[in-house]
Structure 1
């Protein structure tokens, strides 16, 4: 193992032992719960947005979770990385991290890796397909929470109209046992 790989491994272990952002806090804009069915890792993540920022800006991320060192460290690194970042920039960071995972351990261009900072420690994880979902769990939760908050529009996502009431409007709030007049 190279000295760089050892450094990355130590960084992952450090974040797993002393995670940034761990501990749910109130005042969040949205929350997402994600599970990796392959190994059972899970996270409940809350995104806190800065008041009045345009574009929307992540104030902080709080979370609770359990799982392997990779999933927990990745959430910790991500939390640190996106704190104080505008939502569009956080989405770019997320896409860059997803690209890192698709690179299967080959890394990215220097500029992209510089953007990711400590998240480049997960380069080696991408060599193990079964572990990629572990590393992506927190990023999926962040993206989902941002979409739920309305701060992030995902391609192909449309607002869904409220479902039609199964009860005719004329009978809402009345006793269902009492027949209603048909005014048709």
Structure 2
């Protein structure tokens, strides 16, 4: 394993062990939730987003599953807070494209922050859904917020 892969593995484990945004915020004005489940491996996430105007103010979640799904939810919660809704939607599209590329499209660290550590997941088709779960939940919740 090279140095970058090792760093990425450490980031994933850190987010899985010390998740950001864990614990659903109370429902309220501008808030919407989405529950997503991966029946293949049992990963499960409920994500709640609160939008004020056109800006994401809170992303909170709760769930259970593998370290990739839990780390991805944590990374997303940290990344999306304060982001305009349309930018978040475009970011989700780019994340999906990269994860479906089988390693051909790496995630840009400047845009995706810690979530760039999930680039390697794209080489493992069975794990893509794990990494995408929270992102699909945010995409769904944004349509209702």
Task: Normalising by structure 1, report the TM-score.
Answer: 0.74
Kindly indicate whether the alpha-carbon contact (under 8 Å) linking 1:97 and 1:119 is maintained by their aligned counterparts in 2. Answer: no
Residue aligned with 2:144, SS: helix
Match of 1:5 in 2: 5
**1:81 lines up with 2:79 in the alignment:** yes
Kindly indicate whether the alpha-carbon contact (under 8 Å) linking 1:106 and 1:123 is maintained by their aligned counterparts in 2. Answer: no
Q: CA separation in 2, counterparts of 1:95 and 1:17?
A: 27
Higher strand share: 2
The equivalences for 1:59-138 within 5 A come to: 59-108=57-106, 112-138=108-134
Match of 2:23 in 1: 23
Q: CA separation in 1, counterparts of 2:101 and 2:71?
A: 20
1:114 positional shift: 2.2
Kindly indicate whether the alpha-carbon contact (under 8 Å) linking 1:30 and 1:46 is maintained by their aligned counterparts in 2. Answer: yes
Match of 2:142 in 1: 146
Residue aligned with 1:100, SS: helix
Match of 2:43 in 1: 41
Task: Normalising by structure 2, report the TM-score.
Answer: 0.93
Q: How many residues align?
A: 143
Kindly indicate whether the alpha-carbon contact (under 8 Å) linking 1:104 and 1:123 is maintained by their aligned counterparts in 2. Answer: no
Structure 2 segments unaligned to the other structure (5+ residues):
none
1:113 positional shift: 4.2
Residue aligned with 2:39, SS: coil
Which deviations, in whole Å up to 9, do the C-alpha atoms of 1:69-92 show, x marking residues without a partner? 000000000111100100001111
Higher helix share: 2
Residue aligned with 2:46, SS: strand
